[in-house]
């Protein structure tokens, strides 16, 4: 008799409990992944602190380790050690890059350090569709010879020379890849229409601490004056807090009409989001430079949201905005201006009772009095987290499946929610299929 065993996990969430207490925000996923790639530039051991325990971090560590570096991750102290004294391999394989688009940032670091790189295209998809062409054009402007063969970018740079580069859109990844490649280029490089995200500033601060010469990060014009390889040295650095995790917990507190303190947050990184919450009727009080108290009473007011590059409303919090609008008073419109397929949560929100009409990149949300629990599935990282928040505010019990998406960007998500009084459990499903097809659930 044959036996197949499949293991999955899901959240069981019973909604209706206001979140109260305190929550500590972790290091920024979208910053630390780029810092880890940048650590490859300097010979010696670099230490990065405030590193969250995420699957994306594990993937980036594997990418970097395959280059010949020595890596360690102290999960207790949230510290990653990367000793890049020797780089013995310049290939980032599809098996890893396909799992996490951010790992494509290793291209600029390798070109800078080794004058050569072979990096898989993210997901193996066409360049134009994923806008990797901005990365390619920027590197070519610096003197990198690039060929694309069998799903890999083959880059060689006999000599990197600084130049003026204009980005058609303020792409975060392209800005970062160009920064990493330009720090060892001869002369000055200017990136015009550069991305302005806090993670860009964090990367620039990291590289400057390492010995680079970068100015203008956080503005539309970033200037990089090239330095020599011997000018770069390993450093010890602490990652900024994760503004998207902070926004997620702010949403959860407001959605459940709770009251809680959020610590390790840089409020200025969420100015636009904060203003929207205030307009909806939430209360946000600054109690310390890196701590806020968030609360909400009664039904929220409806506002409209348009996602924009930073400092505008972040696309990564668009699904959170939808959760809030789903029970707000009136009709709200969300316009997703950055990504074509960012309304993945809509079908599951409808399963929970939300009244949402989607028209291309617009979502029209008519607030209902309440959501109700349902079985739903995370389709991607942010959509999955928004469904957890929706379940926390819904009446009854919900199941959220495909937790591996959520684990990419949220550390101990269920434990942090539990600490705030939320009713959430993580269930391991061990399915043993014989002739009877039994199903056993183990709570962990």
What is this structure's pTM? 0.93
Residues 6+ apart with CB under 8 A from 60: 33, 36, 37, 100, 102, 103
Q: What are phi and psi of 313, to 5 degrees?
A: -70, 125
- CA 23 from centre of chain: 19
Least confident of 250-259, 271-280, 304-313, 422-431: 422-431
Domains delineated in the chain: 4-26+241-443 (3.65.10.10), 29-238 (3.65.10.10)
What is the DSSP code string of 79-147?
A: EEEEE-S-----EE-HHHHTT-GGGGGHHHHHHHHHSEEEEEPGGG--HHHHTTHHHHHHHHHTT-EEE
| Of the candidate ranges 24-38, 125-139, 170-184, the one whose mean pLDDT is the lowest | 125-139
Mean pLDDT of 139-157: 95
pLDDT, position 2:
38
* Residue 340: predicted pLDDT: 75
Q: Of 119-123, 191-195, 249-253, which range is least confident?
A: 119-123
* pLDDT tens sequence across 279-331: 999 999 999 999 999 999 999 999 999 999 999 999 999 999 999 999 999 99
pLDDT score, position 341: 79
For residue 311, is the peptide bond before it cis, meaning its omega torsion is within 30 degrees of 0? yes
* pLDDT for 7 beyond 60: no
User: Across all residues in the chain, what is the average pLDDT?
Assistant: 92
Asked if 237 and 208 count as a contact pair (C-beta separation under 8 A), the reply is no
User: How far is 323 from 72, CA to CA, in rounded Å?
Assistant: 38
Confidence class for position 371, pLDDT limits 50, 70, 90: very high
Is residue 128 over pLDDT 60? no
Write out pLDDT tens, residues 69-122. 999 999 999 999 999 999 999 999 988 988 888 899 999 999 999 999 999 988
244, pLDDT greater than 70? yes
pLDDT above 90 coverage of the chain, percent: 87
The residues annotated with a catalytic role in the active site are 125
Helix (H) or strand (E) holding 439: strand 438-443
Dihedral angle sign, alpha carbons of residues 293, 299, 301, 305: positive
Q: What is the pLDDT of residue 431?
A: 61
């Amino acid at each position: 008799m044959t036996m197949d065993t499949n293991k999955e996990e899901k959240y069981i969430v019973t909604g209706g409990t206001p979140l109260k207490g305190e929550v500590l925000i972790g290091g920024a996923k979208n910053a630390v992944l780029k810092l880890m790639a940048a650590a490859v530039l300097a010979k010696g051991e670099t230490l990065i602190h405030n590193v969250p325990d995420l699957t994306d971090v594990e993937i980036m560590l594997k990418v970097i380790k395959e280059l010949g570096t020595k890596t360690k991750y102290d999960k207790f102290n949230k510290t990653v050690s990367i000793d890049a004294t020797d780089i013995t391999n310049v290939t980032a394989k599809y098996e890893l890059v396909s799992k996490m688009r951010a790992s494509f940032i290793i291209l600029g670091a390798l070109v800078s350090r080794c004058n050569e790189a072979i990096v898989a295209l993210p997901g193996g998809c066409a360049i134009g569709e994923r806008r990797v062409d901005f990365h390619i054009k920027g590197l070519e402007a610096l003197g990198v010879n690039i060929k694309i063969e069998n799903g890999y970018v083959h880059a060689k740079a006999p000599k990197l020379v600084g130049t003026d580069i204009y980005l058609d859109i303020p792409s975060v990844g392209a800005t970062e890849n160009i920064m990493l490649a330009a720090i060892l280029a001869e002369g000055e490089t200017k990136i015009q229409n550069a991305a302005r995200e806090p993670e860009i500033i964090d990367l620039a601060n990291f590289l400057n601490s390492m010995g680079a010469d970068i100015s203008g990060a956080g503005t539309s014009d970033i200037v990089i004056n090239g330095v020599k390889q011997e000018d770069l040295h390993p450093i010890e650095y602490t990652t900024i807090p994760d503004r998207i995790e902070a926004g997620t917990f702010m949403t959860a507190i407001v959605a459940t009409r709770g009251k809680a303190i959020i610590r390790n947050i840089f409020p200025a990184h969420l100015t636009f989001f904060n203003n929207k919450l205030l307009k909806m009727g939430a209360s946000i009080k600054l109690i310390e430079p890196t701590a806020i108290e968030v609360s909400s009473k009664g039904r929220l007011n409806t506002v409209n949201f348009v996602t924009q590059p930073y400092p505008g409303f972040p696309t990564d919090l668009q699904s959170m905005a939808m959760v809030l609008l789903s029970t707000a008073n009136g009709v709200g419109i969300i316009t997703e201006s950055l990504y074509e397929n960012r309304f993945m949560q809509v079908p599951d929100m409808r399963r929970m009772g939300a009244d949402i009409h989607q028209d291309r990149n617009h979502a029209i949300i008519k607030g209902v009095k309440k959501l109700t629990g349902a079985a739903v599935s995370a389709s991607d990282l942010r959509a999955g987290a928004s469904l957890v928040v929706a379940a926390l505010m819904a009446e009854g019990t919900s199941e959220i499946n495909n937790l591996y998406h959520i684990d990419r960007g949220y550390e101990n998500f269920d434990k942090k929610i539990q600490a705030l009084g939320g009713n959430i459990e993580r269930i391991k499903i061990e399915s043993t299929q014989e002739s009877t097809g039994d199903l056993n659930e183990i709570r962990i």
